[in-house]
């Protein structure tokens, strides 16, 4: 009867242990990978600046017909290094808004060469047409610069932090993001607590602790590993429809990176579970051998 109650208790505890192991794995992966440093590194690895440059060139070409300003006035001074610095500014400020209660507000790095090119174009056009360089002239010049930086900012905001702030999503997301340490502690603490419960329930049969913990780890690892393998093998995230290539590359790159990390962690959990089951099997066989040895001695 005691063995039956211990079995049922261990089964119930192992179910909770599986869920907590999956949660712990996911939260730890997010905690490690979802930060400004890792996001910037990923954007550099995926060569997002080059894709952003192509999109900005196309945007300024489209605007040149209406403004009369050649696209080259802007684009000839926008190298990938500068665009990466703008991307970094948006990412850093986005995570700063997530980590604090401050409103998202990014200051785009100034491009002196582009500013000069715009000023040269305006001055040359004014000299050729005889346009008076009055307050209206300088106001149009400043508006043109501001619009140029707005175009650059819109295309370099690859994770759309500005849109999230505008639609009121960033503030609630910040509350969840700041809970990461607590969630990590709670999930790992819960996992440890379930293992302690297993030790308590199986105190008389300590070897079975390896069995229940091992089975839980194998199941948790498989639940995390199998869907991850499917998502990666089918390149599931590539099916998402996002028009801007740099945003598509940033989004899919981040999702594939998180999935790969979660899969690797799940495989590690599964392997650890298999190791515990093997250890349990070895201990059982060793115990059986020790019990059978005295019987053989008595028979002799």
**pLDDT tens readout for residues 218-252:** 999 999 999 999 999 999 999 988 889 999 999 99
**Angle (CA) 293 295 300, round 5°:** 95
What average pLDDT does the chain have? 90
295 has a pLDDT exceeding 90? no
b/e for 138-155, b at 16 or more Cβ within 10 A? eeebeebbeebbebbbeb
| Domain residue extents for the chain | 2-35+184-288, 37-176
Neighbours of 188 (CB within 10 A): 16
Q: What is the mean pLDDT of residues 30-38?
A: 94
- Ranges 55-59, 132-136, 207-211, most confident: 55-59
For residue range 120-130, what is the model confidence (pLDDT) as tens digits?
999 998 888 88
For residue range 140-180, what is the model confidence (pLDDT) as tens digits?
999 999 999 999 999 999 999 999 999 999 989 999 999 99
Tokens 């300088």 belong to residue: 138
pLDDT value at residue 6: 84
The model's confidence at residue 298, banded by pLDDT at 50, 70 and 90, is very low
Q: How many Å apart are CA 166 and CA 179, to the nearest integer?
A: 23
For residue range 281-293, what is the model confidence (pLDDT) as tens digits?
988 877 666 555 5
CA distance readout (Å), 157 to 173, 252, 288: 17, 15, 65
């Amino acid at each position: 009867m005691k063995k039956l109650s211990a079995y049922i208790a261990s089964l119930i505890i192992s179910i909770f242990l599986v869920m907590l192991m999956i949660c712990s794995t996911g939260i730890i992966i997010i905690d490690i990978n979802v930060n400004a440093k890792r996001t910037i590194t990923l954007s550099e690895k995926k060569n997002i600046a080059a894709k952003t440059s192509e999109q900005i060139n196309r945007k300024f070409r489209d605007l040149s017909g209406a403004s009369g300003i050649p696209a080259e006035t802007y684009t000839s001074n926008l190298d990938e290094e500068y665009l990466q610095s703008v991307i970094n500014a948006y990412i850093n400020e986005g995570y700063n808004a997530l980590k604090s209660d401050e409103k998202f507000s990014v200051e785009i790095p100034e491009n002196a060469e582009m500013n000069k090119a715009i000023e040269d174009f305006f001055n040359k056009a004014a000299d050729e047409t005889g346009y008076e360089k009055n307050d209206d002239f300088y106001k149009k010049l400043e508006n043109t610069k501001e619009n140029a930086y707005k175009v650059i900012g819109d295309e370099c905001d690859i994770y759309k932090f500005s849109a999230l702030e505008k639609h009121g999503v960033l503030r609630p997301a910040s509350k969840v993001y700041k809970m990461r340490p607590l969630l990590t502690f709670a999930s790992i603490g819960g996992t440890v607590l379930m293992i302690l419960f297993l030790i308590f329930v199986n105190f008389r049969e300590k070897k079975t602790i390896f069995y229940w913990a091992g089975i839980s780890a194998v199941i948790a690892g498989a639940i995390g590993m199998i869907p991850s393998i499917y998502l990666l093998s089918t390149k599931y995230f590539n099916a998402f429809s996002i028009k801007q290539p740099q945003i598509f590359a940033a989004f899919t790159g981040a999702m594939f990176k998180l999935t790969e990390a979660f899969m690797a962690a799940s495989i590690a959990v599964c392997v650890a579970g298999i190791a515990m089951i093997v250890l349990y099997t070895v201990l059982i066989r060793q115990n059986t051998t020790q019990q059978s040895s005295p019987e053989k001695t008595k028979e002799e």
